Amino acid sequence: MSSSSELQVSLRQMIFAIETAVSLVGMNDTNHGKRVAYIASQLAHQLGYDDQTIQFIFELGLLHDCGVSTEQIHNDLVNHFDWQGAYIHCEIGYHLLKDFQPLEIYSNAIRYHHTPWEKLKNIEISTQDANMANLIFLADRIDIMAACHYETDILLAREEIVNSIKSYSGSYFNPVFVDAFLEREKSEAFWISLKERHITLFTWEMRQLGSKVSLTLQQLKQLSIIMAYIVDQKSPFTAQHSLRVADLARNIAETFGLSSEKCAKIEIAGLLHDLGKLNIPDKILEKQGPLNSLERSIMNQHSYETYEILRSIDGLDEIARWAAFHHEGLNGVGYPFHPTQQELGIESRIIAVADVFQALVQDRPYRSGMALSEVLGILDEFVGDEKLDSRLVNLVKQHGEKCFSIAKGIDQTIKGIELPAFTAEELTVANQ
């Protein structure tokens, strides 16, 4: 690729990447978004919607929980049919997408996808958005009730699920949508298709369909900022970590003399490098002491999860490797791939230095952020242990104050996403 404008990435594939990342929050159940997309698209078929609308509702199903970052919120959404704090992740999802033109068409439906039908009818949104939001709400609640039965007794449990959904017709759900569900669910195939191996194959096939819209490099960066926000909200101790790593990595790359295209790609890799942390339990990320061997073994898997999310996106093969190699050492001691020094390119080495630097200056549950002198001392130790590239660490030391300012977020190029301020009472409800 001779210029950055030539890098174009499929919007459809990025939507799947968002779903894959967000679904990691489900820990042992990482197919919720896929199943909601399937159920909603099946109901859309039953309702006689055209192909374009069916593709829209499928993608909306994949995106509907993009405002969920924490295990606690996921558990509350799973364990309660109607939960007082559910609207917060809907608001977050809405604000994440509303200013990103390629995905803003989904934002209103995401905002109201936990609003009961009897209330939704009185809100000033388009009929289309109201219908799409409620169809997703219905599909979401069907899946929540059925999830624990798919691999065991779903054909026996279906009657109880159907009766429960019927009881909410007219109050929580559009009666027309409930009637469509009652017709569609009569087929055993509807339920059997929701088993893990079947839903995975179905969504893989759907991944090849849909719109052929491509994202430019600049749009890819915008979407990467959205994804970085989702990851960084996993814990208050990682707030803006991905943004600051990306900012610092780009600055180091520019100072090192890399091309503008490569610097832009390194920035995107920095934004996406910790996607796999969405699959790390909250209690591990926020532990106020050293990790034990089991916790460390779980933590050491997150870079691979990042790679798995990104590697299947056409055109992102380089970025996937750079992002996933951010814990690899020059001496092969890092994790999880253990590449040779020849395989560990300058791009990955830059992100590794930026990641360590930013993590050290940021407050963490077990310590306060470090001063510049402490950070540089640790970087020197890492060079001595062949964990970091001496050329890059020396470069950082030459521009220490600038790097420190970027890592702290004082001097920043990448701006975060503006979200509504929730009250303490609202956040308490959301975390109960």
- Region 86-114: mean pLDDT is 95
pLDDT above 80 for 426: no
Instruction: Identify the pLDDT of residue 387.
Output: 93
Torsion angle of C-alpha atoms 28, 32, 35, 40, degrees rounded to 10: 170
Beta carbons within 8 Å of 354's beta carbon, 6+ residues apart: 245, 246, 248, 249, 252, 270, 407
> Known catalytic residue: 277?
yes
> Is 222 a domain residue?
no
In this structure, is residue 289 part of a structural domain? yes
pLDDT-derived band of residue 211, with 50, 70 and 90 as boundaries? low
Q: DSSP strand E in 209-316: where?
A: 214-215
Least confident of 62-76, 162-176, 219-233, 418-432: 418-432
Quick check: 112 and 133 in contact, CB under 8 A?
Answer: yes
Mean pLDDT of the chain: 90
Q: Residue 98: pLDDT band by 50, 70, 90 thresholds?
A: very high
Q: How confident is the model at residue 199 (pLDDT cuts 50, 70, 90)?
A: very high
| Two structure tokens written together for 242 | 């991905």
- How many percent of the chain have pLDDT more than 70? 94
Looking at residue 233, its pLDDT comes to: 86
Report residue 423's pLDDT band, with 50, 70 and 90 as the boundaries: low
Decide if 224 is inside a domain.
Answer: no
Claim to verify: residue 251 and residue 364 sit in the same structural domain: yes
My answer on whether 268 and 377 are in the same domain is yes
Residue 2: predicted pLDDT: 35
Q: Give the chain's length.
A: 432
| Burial readout 318-340 (b: 16 or more C-beta within 10 A, e: otherwise) | bbbbbbbbbbbbbeeebbbbebe
How many other CB atoms are there within 10 angstroms of residue 182's CB atom? Answer: 14
> CA–CA separation, 304 vs 192, rounded Å?
30
Distances (CA, A) of 89 to 85, 159, 301, 349, 422: 8, 30, 26, 35, 11
Total structural domains within the chain: 2
Q: Which of 212, 231, 251 is the last residue of a domain?
A: 212
- 336 or 121: which carries more pLDDT confidence? 336
pLDDT over 80 at 418, yes or no: no
Least confident range of 91-105, 120-134, 267-281, 354-368: 354-368
Q: Are residues 250 and 199 in the same domain?
A: no
277, 283, 397, 415: the active-site residue = 277
Is residue 226 a part of any domain in this protein? no
The kind and range of the H/E element at 310 are helix 302-311
- Residue identified by tokens 């360590």 is 356
First-to-last alpha carbon distance for the chain, in angstroms, is: 50
Given this model, what pLDDT does residue 309 score?
94
**pLDDT tens-digit readout, 25-55:** 877 788 999 999 999 999 999 999 999 999 9
Same domain, 181 and 295: no
| Per-range mean pLDDT, top range of 10-19, 40-49, 231-240 | 40-49
Angle between helices 390-398 and 346-361 (to 10 degrees): 50
Where residue 89 sits, what CATH number does that domain have? 1.10.3210.10
**Residue 7 pLDDT > 80:** no
Query: CA angle 364-370-372, nearest 5°?
Result: 145
Whole-number Å distance between alpha carbons of 172 and 149: 23
Check whether residue 203 and residue 246 sit in a common domain. Answer: no
75 in a structural domain: yes
pLDDT at 432 over 60: no
Task: Supply the range of the domain harboring residue 16.
Answer: 9-212
Minimum mean pLDDT range among 5-14, 130-139, 254-263, 287-296: 5-14
pLDDT band at 401 (very low <50, low <70, confident <90, very high): very high
Lowest-pLDDT range, 160-174, 197-211, 314-328, 329-343? 197-211
Q: What is the pLDDT of residue 79?
A: 79
Task: Please write the tens of the pLDDT for every residue from 244-253.
Answer: 999 999 999 9
pLDDT above 80 (res 277): yes
| Domain-embedded: residue 168 | yes
**Together in a domain, 204 and 75:** yes
Which pLDDT does position 210 carry in this prediction? 61
Give domain status of residue 267, yes or no: yes
Note the pLDDT tens digit of each residue in 129-152: 999 999 999 999 999 999 999 999
Domain assignment of residue 370, yes or no: yes
- pLDDT surpasses 90 at 237: no
